[in-house]
Amino acid sequence: MKIVTICGAGIGSSGILKVNAERVLRRLDIEADVVAADIGSLAQVAGDAQVILTSAEFVDAIGTTFADVIIVENYFDTDELTTKLEAALGE
């Protein structure tokens, strides 16, 4: 499984979201490759992703995708991430 975290520059917000998503996935005992990226490289890194994690501001820029796009309100809230990933992944 591949999960991509998206932000504007691919460094700050997506990096924080990547680390917290990996923590949540470990607790849920789900194996996934989590990749942080900027919105400009989305097409190259997310073509085979099952889930895209991002903020509401980037949803329109993502466009059409087969991945589940999950809007995260608080990148530091692992409870929010847990709830949303469980729902998306059917855990």
pLDDT tens-digit readout, 62-80: 888 888 999 999 989 999 9
Q: pLDDT-based confidence at 91, cuts 50/70/90?
A: low
pLDDT digits (tens, 9 = 90+) for 23-49: 999 999 999 999 998 888 877 887 889
**Closest-CA residue to 37 (of 6, 70, 1):** 6
How many whole angstroms separate alpha carbon 46 and alpha carbon 38? 11
What does the chain come to in residues?
91
How many whole angstroms separate alpha carbon 80 and alpha carbon 9? 23
Say if 87 falls within a structural domain. no
pLDDT over 70, % of the chain: 96
Say if 25 falls within a structural domain. yes
pTM: 0.89
Say if 65 falls within a structural domain. yes
Q: Which is higher by pLDDT, 82 or 13?
A: 82
pLDDT of amino acid 11: 66
Query: How many domains is the chain partitioned into structurally?
Result: 1
Say if 86 falls within a structural domain. no
> Looking at beta carbons, which pairs linking 59-66 to residues 24 or more positions away fall under 8 Å?
62/6
Q: Measured at the alpha carbon of residue 75, what is the angle toward residues 70 and 81, in degrees to the nearest 5? A: 50
